[in-house]
Amino acid sequence: MSDTQHPSSPPYALDRDTDALLVIDLQPDFMPGGALAVAEGDAVVAPIVALLPLFHTVVATQDWHPQGHISFASTHGAAPYAQLPLYGGEQTLWPDHCVQGSPGAALHDALPREPLSVILRKGAHPECDSYSAFRENLGPGGQRRTTGLGALLRARGVRRVFLCGLARDFCVRWSAADAVSEGFEAVLIDDLTRPVFPQHQAETDRLLAAEGVRRATARDLVARP
Ligand code: VGL
Ligand code: ZN
């Protein structure tokens, strides 16, 4: 993809009116020792917290499943990480995680709440998963229902979103790809995210590029002078 197709490249001079930070699923269940642990998931927390003052609009998402959720392997008597054909697509089955109201589903203790413009809970529908902050996964009828986040960000004047958090190969990638589909420029902050499956990194990177997601590191983000 040539640079001329993109309005910006590193360093990113942030505009507090038109840039937003999306902090995806910083929750104990995705931390080492959690129900769906992401290796080094804890390493991203402090550097994400350090970035918050650069943004006016900060959205934190929270994976938020009812007990017996369709994405839980236990719901189907299946092994975790098996694939289930669902609504014309495939659903990965996960260990029970982020059960509504459980300690593992809380926002991470170290994430301050004051700077958060929006806390978006997703995946609450018993019959449908939602990796993305923008749209649920395929549901009945082969549709992906909106969460309303795209409209909310547009109403606030946001044009570009920076993404960080967990997990890079699922909720972060799906959110970034949908941000592009919704007409935003999407920039993944690579060093502030970690994958569930590090062994699939080449494939994840290929998909991100194909989806039109740009990539940066935290040091590429600078306050506009
Ligand atoms: C996630 C798998 C299942 C994520 C959430 O936050 O990336 N992954 N639920
Ligand atoms: Zn989940």
From the list 171, 201, 148, the residue with the least C-alpha distance to 25 is: 171
The rounded mean pLDDT for the chain is 95
pTM above 0.85, yes or no: yes
Pocket test for ligand 1, best of 27, 84, 97, 164 (most atoms within 8 A of CB): 97
Query: What is the mean predicted confidence (pLDDT) over 209-221?
Result: 97
pLDDT at 209 over 80: yes
Residues 10-21 pLDDT 10s: 899 999 999 999
User: Distance, CA 196 to ligand 1 centroid (Å)?
Assistant: 8
pLDDT digits (tens, 9 = 90+) for 32-79: 999 999 999 999 999 999 999 999 999 999 999 999 999 999 999 999
pLDDT at res. 224: 82
Q: How confident is the model at residue 5 (pLDDT cuts 50, 70, 90)?
A: very low
* Range with lowest mean pLDDT among 5-19, 90-104, 197-211: 5-19
Give alpha helix (H) positions in 67-217: 149-155, 173-181, 201-210
> E strands along the chain, which residues?
12-14, 19-24, 57-63, 83-86, 89-92, 118-122, 160-166, 185-194, 214-216, 221-223
Between CA 135 and CA 171 the distance in angstroms is: 11
The DSSP bridge pattern shows strands 89-92 and 83-86 to be antiparallel
Question: For the segment 169-189, what is each residue's pLDDT rounded down to a tens digit?
Answer: 999 999 999 999 999 999 999
Q: How far is the CA of 12 from the centre of ligand 2 (A)?
A: 31
Phi, psi of 56, rounded to the nearest 5 degrees: -90, -40
- The whole-angstrom separation of Cα 181 and Cα 54 is 25
Give the position, in ligand 1's atom list, of the atom nearest the Cα of 168. Answer: 7
Please spell the DSSP secondary structure of 184-197, one letter per residue. -EEEEEEEEEE-S-
Question: Atom of ligand 1 at shortest distance to CA of 165?
Answer: 6
Q: How far is the CA of 132 from the centre of ligand 1 (A)?
A: 9
Q: Where does the pLDDT of residue 139 fall: very low under 50, low under 70, confident under 90, or very high at 90 and above? A: very high
Six-digit token pair at 123? 């995946």
